Chains A and B, each alone.
Chain A
Amino acid sequence: MADKILNKIYVKVWRQNSPKAKGRFETYTVENVSQGTSFLEMIDILNDQLILGGKDPIAFDHDCREGICGMCSLYVNGHAHGPDTQVTTCQLHMRRFNDGQTITVEPWRVGAFPVVKDLIVDRTAFEKIQQAGGFISVNTGGVPDGNTIPILQDDAEEAMDAAACIGCGACAATCKNSSAMLFLAAKVSQFAKLPQGQVEAKRRAKAMVAKMDELGFGGCTNTGACELACPKSISIAHIARLNREYLVAKLSD
């Protein structure tokens, strides 16, 4: 199963030396790339070329390279995580591209995620949303036996569907309003489906939504673009559940 070779591709990349610096696109040529190479490995090859040519390599976030850590965060040809579906940028492979093609690479474009350098953005805002209430308040120790809390299999599965979120930010980056609703909803919905999450449900929904608004993310207008961009296919049904949780919480104020 030998992979085909792309003789030449053009990579048009956003370069920005620091948060305050002015950014610009630069286009580079990369030759002889196997289609079995991952997209980030192609960037590795390009960076090697840049370093050997005395230039500054492109800074980009990446870590596990198996689609689970949520670190990689690129807009490739106008799509969050590239043209493939249900993948992160690190799982995208060069077989999705053609010889001679120009590939445009940009960082997430979200006001709440300022650019740090080149393709790296600061997603601290997501951390703050989680810190506002994305937990069940139990200390270590003194908890009941795991099997004293039976959970309907379907509920556990649905909670897991939501919990699969990797916090990459593709949802907010894709949303025309730069809303973080899918990210936030995934956490709230996970706990909403579990008995353990009920005690703090109201406080959680209110605190997390308030924090999201405070951080400058936009509102949700239900276009569903986030679900399509989500590498884990998290459903916008979770946003509906969040809205319900939020409404119930607000009504009981």
Chain B
Amino acid sequence: MSILNSKIPEGPIAQKWSNHKAKIKVVSPNNKRKLEIIVIGTGLAGASAAASLSELGYNVKAFCYQDSPRRAHSIAAQGGINAAKNYQNDNDSVYRLFYDTVKGGDYRSREANVHRLAEVSPNIIDQCVAQGVPFAREYGGLLSNRSFGGVLVSRTFYARGQTGQQLLLGAYSALNRQIAEGGVKMYTRHEMIDLITIDGKARGIIARDMVTGEVKRFGAHAVVIASGGYGNVFFLSTNAMGCNASASWVCYKKGAYFANPCFVQIHPTCIPVHGSQQSKLTLMSESLRNDGRVWTPRKMEDAEKLRKGILSPNDIADPDRDFYLERRYPSYGNLVPRDVASRAAKERCDAGFGVNSEGKAVYLDFKYSIERLGRHTIEKRYGNLFQMYEKITDHDPYTEPMQIYPAIHYTMGGTWVDYNLMTTIPGLYAIGEANFSDHGANRLGASALMQGLADGYFVLPYTIGDYLAGEIMVPKIDTNLPEFIEAEKQAVGKLEKLFNINGKTPVDHFHKRLGTIMWDNVGMARNAAGLTKAIKEIQELRVEFYKDLLVPGEMKNVNPELEKAGRVADFIELGELLARDALNRNESCGGHFREESATDEGEAKRDDENFAYVAAWEFKGVDSEPILHKEDLVFETIALTQRSYK
């Protein structure tokens, strides 16, 4: 029997959220004024939560590591946001969005959470429109939609190829209004480095001021982690350079369970890696697959000539092009979900049909849609993406196909939360990409923005009241309590330890090596031998890190190397847990592909009998094995079937 209580409400799926809201406690306005909440991260989830909580009357302290909350990496999301509006009259509904998300997640998400997400999705669009988000419009002035992978309806709202930016600026504007009114105290260039718990409850944080280097104590009645995912464990990813998992990781080490770390999304359409000095990878939006056709050459000799630069893609006639997604998945074609598209690209490249000099790229071709719709239409839809591609690669995607290859993009796993989005530490919440609950083993396109804003605008502001109603008698948290003093001392000690190693190797070298171990063994295809090897190599890397790290500069000044060192120290530990989780899950599902568990056609094969559970890991010390707790996934509404996009 699991010790995890997911607190899923009783009743039919469509009534659970309503029933729950009717039952949970509400804090009165005069008591809200006395309560403080800390929010870590100001992306879609964090900014929307901080603004909404402040509007309700709570005192909010919001933190971000950038110089402005508007720069959080949600800003880089391109394609769109899903919502079950059914504006297109194409038979979309809350149920269909719920069903698509559960299926897309390969039946490893929690039904009740996903249904709630689908239920609140239409409200998000309304909210954003009211804030002045300039969504794309039809000639009649109504909102426009596009399609995304893994679905048969058109439910994605968008603002050119900058939807994440526009939604974040909407949430940021709401946040600014609260900052101006005094409800939110904003701490920019601050990084959370520890969590304070008192009598088992979250009561505050330790943060480092990244300008002065000062380590500070902050108290609150509840702490909300909205600091995003852990994709940068792989070094090369589409995440921003500063994206890190340290806030989540210190919570894990303080007792919050970490769930399904092996569920990592590898996005099929990124600009391929070049050379060895690359610092990050750039995504090309999934929306491009609406109008682009993915192909590799049919003949091996053509592939070889393309790799050597003897042939150009435009020299290859249509019959010699293998539109492998359309061939393998006729009903979804180029719009299969991300995990399926990524594996198919890897399969073609592994078979020798890759098209760049490294043999690790396929084509995404707009020739056909330009012929059909005209260059102007394509320019209007994707102009900024095409410009971005051209600036990076020096090739013009209007006249020759883009080269793309899969890259680490998003992490479905994260801090374990119950239905209220509370972690296993009372008073500690995790929202947005930082939690694990809604996307199962694979996230559908345009659903990250939806989840971030759903959690921040419409879920957390309700559920946090249920906990805080019990805290109204607790006075303002005194940051001179021994727990705070001790935590500060330890946090400073941890930083000094990194400084005092005084070795020979800069932190990036360790990060790159970690990334290579992860990508080679814990990437798109995983097996027991490789994972076991990875765990050992990561442990060795950790030992070396603490012997040979070199951190230059000063503690009490701007010091990006020190910031990176702290993050990479955590990434190394997280990478090990990720590999461990992948080793434990001896089935293939969504983005997690175990070579031992495949169908004859090479598709992922789930094992529902043994693995229909959430793997929640409990920290037991850096050198001890973590304890696995299982939350059984119960599917009351949707029957478990092998996923097919054929």
Contact = CB atoms under 8 A, between A and B. Distances in A.
Contacts of B132: 136, 159, 190-191, 194, 196-197
What class of interface size applies to chain A in its complex with B? 35 or more
**Chain A interface, DSSP helix/strand/loop, else mixed:** loop
Contact of A163 (B166, B504, B553): B166
Interface in A22-41: 34, 36-38, 40-41
Interface in B240-292: 240-242, 274-275, 277-280, 282-283
B552 A62 contact: no
Contact of B560 (A59, A122, A131): A59
A141 B141 CA distance: 23
Contacts of B174: 135, 138, 140
Interface stretch (B64-72, B417-425, B583-591): B64-72
B171 to A, nearest CB: 10
B475 to A, nearest CB: 28
B55 interface: yes
A18 B179 CA distance: 28
B394 A149 contact: no
A136 B126 contact: no
Given A38-B279, A66-B76, A136-B173, A156 B130 contact: no
A65 B279 contact: yes
Interface of B: 48, 51-52, 55, 66-68, 70-71, 73, 75-76, 85, 87, 122-123, 125-143, 159-160, 162, 165-166, 169, 172-174, 176-177, 179-180, 186, 188, 211, 238, 240-242, 274-275, 277-280, 282-283, 309, 356-357, 387-388, 391-395, 457-458, 461, 504, 506, 508, 550, 552-553, 557-561
Interface of A: 1-3, 17-18, 34, 36-38, 40-41, 44-45, 48, 50-52, 54-57, 59, 61-71, 84, 86-87, 91, 93, 95, 116-118, 120, 122-124, 126-127, 130-132, 134-141, 143-147, 149-153, 156-157, 159-160, 163-164, 166-167, 190-191, 193-194, 196-197
B135 A156 contact: yes
A44 B277 contact: yes
B55 A140 contact: yes
B413 to A, nearest CB: 23
Given A140-B51, A145-B126, A151-B137, A18 B557 contact: yes
B275 A37 contact: yes
Nearest to B70: A167
A50 to B, nearest CB: 8
Contacts, number: 226
Given A62-B241, A144-B126, A194-B134, A37 B277 contact: yes
Nearest to A43: B279
A63 B66 contact: yes
A117 B169 contact: no
A59 B176 CA distance: 28
22 contacts: A1-B309, A1-B357, A3-B275, A36-B275, A51-B561, A57-B560, A63-B240, A64-B76, A66-B283, A68-B76, A93-B391, A126-B68, A134-B173, A138-B131, A140-B48, A140-B458, A144-B130, A147-B85, A150-B137, A152-B137, A159-B134, A164-B165
A84 B357 CA distance: 27
A157 B166 CA distance: 13
A188 B131 CA distance: 13
Contact of B141 (A59, A150, A164): A150
A71 B561 contact: no
Nearest to A193: B134
Contact of A141 (B127, B211, B309, B391): B127
Contact of A147 (B55, B143, B165, B388): B143
A91 B126 CA distance: 34
A56 to B, nearest CB: 5
Nearest to B280: A65
A167 to B, nearest CB: 6
Given A67-B388, A91-B391, A135 B242 contact: no
- 9 A-B pairs with least C-beta separation: A150-B141, A135-B173, A143-B130, A146-B129, A159-B134, A117-B558, A160-B134, A140-B52, A156-B137
B347 to A, nearest CB: 24
- Which residue among A17, A66, A144 has the maximum number of chain B CB atoms within 10 Å of its CB? A66
Given A18-B557, A144-B126, A139 B166 contact: no
Contacts of A144: 126, 130
B346 to A, nearest CB: 22
A136 B179 CA distance: 14
Given A131-B179, A141-B127, A144-B130, A65 B241 contact: yes
